[in-house]
Amino acid sequence: MTMTAEAALTMPASRRYIILATVSAATMLYAMAITIANVVLPQMRGALSATPDQIAWVITFNLVATAVMTPISGWLSNRFGRRKVLLAGTLGFTIASVLCGLADSLEALVLYRVLQGAFGAPLVPVSQAIILDTFPRRQHSLATALWGVGVVMGPIIGPTFGGTIAEEYSWRWVFFMIVPFGVMTFAAIWMFIKRRPNRPPGRPLDWMGFLALAAALAAFQLMFDRGERNSWFESPETIIECTAGFLAAYIFLVHIGTAKRPFISPKLFLNRNYSLGLVLAFMFGMLNFVPLVLMPSMLQDLRGYPDSTIGILLAIRGAGNLLSFLLVIRLAQWSVHTALTVGFLCQAVSGYAIAQYDINLTYFGMAWTGALQGLGIGMSWVPLTLIMFSTVRPEFLDDASAVFHMFRNFSSSLFISICVAVVIRSTYINSVELGIPLSEFSKILTLPWVTGSLDLGTVKGLSAASAEVKRQAAMIGYINAFRLYAIIAILPIPLIWLARMPKQDG
């Protein structure tokens, strides 16, 4: 339900918060599906006979489908109305979740995850636009923070129950458990979100701009997803995907600069705060989901943690996120720049701390670093939203929200692919280097205090030594990925202080 500024001021407060709770449930549904899938990645990898880079497609293709469909959320809202878009998105998302649970192959699961991402794409930007339209500008920080509290319950509920259910039954049930939440959310939207009385007339969709942007995002994602497997630019496939991506991006940029009614208006990027915010949103998105992909595999493959324990650790990350929303409102009111800086610093410290661990990972070590990651994500979300939308005109609100979430989701999928490639390549290189001493010509292996209980003169002993080498090499790969994560978290901090906030929002 969209309101003008005057209507938002006259709306009863109880009505505003009912709308806030309803759209928070819609976005919580999407957040829950992402974190649930991460918990069972190791189990799905075994059940579907997939490699680490292949099983990551379950996450990355979902995110890239979301990124492709997010920019048309504004057009869909203007063409059909926000209420219809939310209803269709929730229904399609719930049906796709059932199909994910019924998938019998990796290819089918990835396809259904693409459908899940496509239907779920409008839920977050449309919900955000509704909140910013329903509440007066002076209450945007409060409303955004409360919306964030609702959203973050998904990453708490999902992993906690999903990990236990997967351990007791199978990975399929983590998708089936989404269905009741989807049905309840659909009913709430039907009852409480009303049709906008002054909805702007729908404009024709710029198919050239949309298809060019979709082709660019898909090509770059495929290039990074399959690059390590194909030896990067030694493969014609990678060269073709890279060329297609740059060509499609060029066509898109030229088209929106010359078309009368472009898919995304270039005027949107003339806003200083918004353009700067897009850069920050891209970096923020890179940090958002990488730990959720790396940690489950690292904990189960290297330490043998069960799904239920991994789910609790991911839920602790969500608890840190929840705590942040209790702190960020006051801090953002005092200084948006400081709040956002603290958010990125928390993530940098967390990544650096994990990069200092050895293979003897402890429950407490993963718990406090995960909680710090969640705290950093939450501390970043509200001030980043305030920076980006503080000076956006109402007529650009739908498009601005859609582009923001497109950048965030695409950078998430892109950085997941990069980090998975770092883990795989580092594991391979270090397996070779660490395995050099395991030779019949190595004198050090004749010393009993070096080999310990391993009998390297037997096949069983050699197999155990080889497995340990691979385990240590994999840990080095994860350490390198989290070092990269920490570096990325530091880079945006100088840019934060270039933003200029309006005095009335200070």
Tell me the CATH number at 319: 1.20.1250.20
The answer to whether position 456 is within a domain reads: no
Domain count, the chain: 2
Average pLDDT rounded to a whole number, residues 350-370: 89
Statement to judge: residues 242 and 273 lie in one domain:
no
Statement to judge: residues 220 and 123 lie in one domain:
no
Phi-psi region of 194 (alpha: psi -120 to 50; beta: other; left: phi over 0): beta
Average pLDDT rounded to a whole number, residues 140-153: 71
Statement to judge: residues 33 and 115 lie in one domain:
yes
Statement to judge: residues 35 and 176 lie in one domain:
yes
Confidence of residue 2 (pLDDT cuts 50, 70, 90): very low
Q: Are 383 and 495 in contact (CB under 8 A)?
A: no
Average pLDDT rounded to a whole number, residues 347-353: 93
Q: How far apart are CA 88 and CA 95, in angstroms?
A: 11
Statement to judge: residues 236 and 137 lie in one domain:
no
- Give the chain's mean pLDDT: 81
Give percent above pLDDT 70 in the chain: 87
Statement to judge: residues 329 and 356 lie in one domain:
yes
Phi-psi region of 103 (alpha: psi -120 to 50; beta: other; left: phi over 0): beta
Statement to judge: residues 269 and 230 lie in one domain:
no
Note the pLDDT tens digit of each residue in 304-345: 888 788 888 888 887 887 788 777 777 767 788 888 899 999
Residue 277: per-residue pLDDT = 85
Is 170 or 474 the better-scoring residue by pLDDT?
474
The answer to whether position 177 is within a domain reads: yes
Statement to judge: residues 277 and 374 lie in one domain:
yes
Residue 199: per-residue pLDDT = 58
Average pLDDT rounded to a whole number, residues 291-296: 84
Statement to judge: residues 237 and 150 lie in one domain:
no
Q: How far apart are CA 335 and CA 327, in angstroms?
A: 12
The answer to whether position 79 is within a domain reads: yes
Statement to judge: residues 232 and 319 lie in one domain:
no
Domain containing residue 220: 213-257
Is 468 or 394 the better-scoring residue by pLDDT?
468
Give residue 120's identity as a one-letter amino acid code.
G
Statement to judge: residues 284 and 219 lie in one domain:
no
Residue 92: per-residue pLDDT = 93
Q: How far apart are CA 80 and CA 373, in angstroms?
A: 38
Statement to judge: residues 358 and 407 lie in one domain:
yes
The answer to whether position 441 is within a domain reads: no
| Residue 199: burial class (beta carbons within 10 Å; 0-12, 13-18, 19+) | middle
The answer to whether position 467 is within a domain reads: no
